[in-house]
Amino acid sequence: MPSISWRARTVQASPIRKLKPLADQARRAGKRVYHLNIGQPDIPTPKEYFDGIRQAAQGVLAYSPSQGLDEALDALAEYYRTFGIALSRDEMIVTTGGSEAITFALLAVTDVGDAILVPEPFYTNYNSYAQITGIQIVPIETRAEDGFRLPDKKTIEAKISPKIKAILFCNPGNPTGVVYTKAELAMLAEVAHKHNLYLIADEVYREFTYDGAQAISVLQLPNLEDRAILVDSISKRFSACGARIGVIASKNASVMESALKFAQARLSPPTLEQYGLIHLLRSSQYQNFVREMIAEFARRRDLVYAELQKMPGVICTKPQGAFYVTAKLPVEDAEHFVRWLLTDFSLDNETVMLAPAAEFYATPGKGRDEVRIAYVLNTDALQRAMRVLREGLLAYTNSPVMQV
C-alpha cells in the first residue's frame, strides 16, 4: 500500500470534534448531552435569510463569479459601512466560510517554511490551516490569570524572525472572549509596521461584545491599508454556520489579486447561500436580529460566568466578547475530565461536553488544566449544564480513582 503523506499523518484531528464518538455513545446510553464544546449556537437563522434562498431556488443553479455575486459584494459593502469601513467590490471576496478566508490570506502572504505570530490560546483550526499551507505558528503567550491580555511590545518583538510574515489574531477572541483595546491594536500595528508584517484579523465575532466593549476592526486602524487583512464569516452573527459564507477583505490590491487567483481555483462559493445573505442584508431586520441575539448572549455569559465563579478552584475572567470562556479547572488533565463526564458521569441522566483547551495552545503543556466553554444554549439549558459541570467537577476531584 502506498503511504500517506507526512502532512496528513501530522495534521490534527479536530480536538473539538474528536470526542464526538463518546458523546454519541452517551446519547445512545440514554443520556442527554449539553454541547458546550462547539461554536454552534441554537439561535434560529433569520427568516429573511431563508426567504432569499427560497426565492432564488429555481432555474439553473449556476456557479457564481469566483469573487462572489456583485449583489452580495454590494450588500456586504453596505454592512461594513455601518461600522465606518468603506470597501469597494474589488476589496472583497466572498469565501466558502471564514476557514477559506484564512487559508487564502495565508496563501497570499506566506510561503512554505514561513511562520506567523498568533496570540495563544487560539482557535485550534489555525493549526490545520498552518499545516495545509506549510507554515509554522509561533505563539504569543497569554494567560488565564491575566485575562488573556496581550503581553508588551518587547515580548512580542522577541518572537520575530525573518520567517515571520504576519500576525494573525482573533478579535473578539475565540477561545478567550478577549476584546482588544485600541492601545493593544495600536501596538500590534506598530509591530507590523516596524517589522514589515501583515496583520490578519479574524473578526467573525465582531458584534459579540458585552458591557459596552466594542470590537475595533483592523480595517478601522489608521495607516494600515497596505498590511491589514480582514477575515470574516456570517456563521455566528447571523446564526448561519451551515451557510459556509465568509469574506476576505483588504485595501492591499496585491493581496486581493492573489486571493482571487486562489478563489478562481475553487470556482465559486455556494450560490444560493449568497442570495440568502443578500436578502437578509437588504432587509431592515438584520440589525434587530443581531441586537436581540447579542442581548441573549449577554444573559448567557452572565449566567455561565456567575456559575463558574461559584465553583471552587475554577479560574476565569469575565469574557467581554465572542461566546466562549476559557477556564482553568482544579484538575490535572482537562481532557481526561471531559472524557470522564461523557463516559462515567451523569446527573439526572444528563451530562455536558466541553472542549479541552490544551489544543488551543501551541506551547507544549500549556492549557492542560483548561477547558473552553461555548455558551451557545438557552439559559435554561445552560443552567442545567452548569449544574452538571459543578457536580461533575466535585465528583471527579473527590474521586480517588481520578487523582492521576
Interface residues for its own copies in 183-202 (CB under 8 A)? 196-198
Q: Does 125 bind its own copies (CB under 8 A)?
A: yes
Q: Supply the DSSP string of 54-74, one letter for each residue.
A: HHH-SS--PPPPTT--HHHHH
> Could you give the CA distance from residue 382 to residue 169 in angstroms, rounded to a whole number?
28
Amino acid at 381: A
Between 76 and 255, CB nearer to its own copies: 255
Q: Please, which of residues 45-84 interact with its own copies by CB under 8 A?
A: 45, 49-50, 53-54, 57-64, 66
> Binding to its own copies by residue 161, rule CB under 8 A?
no
The minimum distance between CB 212 and its own copies, in angstroms, equals 29
Angle between helices 20-28 and 334-343 (to 10 degrees): 20
d(CA 271, CA 289): 23
Q: Which residues, numbered 4-33, are part of the site for its own copies (CB under 8 A)?
A: 4-9, 11-14, 17
Indicate which single residue of 157, 266, 306, 399 sits in contact with its own copies (rule: CB under 8 A): 266
Q: Which among 151-159, 254-262, 346-354, 367-375 is the span making contact with its own copies, rule CB under 8 A? A: 254-262
For position 395 contacting its own copies by CB under 8 A, the verdict is no
Q: Of 97-105, 323-331, 343-351, 394-402, which part binds its own copies (CB under 8 A)?
A: 97-105
Q: Which residues have C-beta within 8 Å of that of residue 257, sequence separation ≥ 6? A: none
> 200 near 233, Cβ under 8 Å?
no
What is the Cα 27 distance to its own chain's centre?
27
Residue from 34, 75, 87, 114 binding its own copies (CB under 8 A): 114
Residue 198, class by beta-carbon neighbours within 10 Å (0-12 exposed, 13-18 middle, 19+ buried)? Answer: buried
Closer CB to its own copies, 260 or 352, in the complex: 260
Site for its own copies in 216-245 (CB under 8 A): 226-227, 239-244
**Which one among 85, 186, 272, 294 touches its own copies, defined by CB under 8 A?**
272
Distance CA(292)–CA(311), nearest Å, equals: 29
Instruction: Name the 3-class secondary structure at 272.
Output: helix
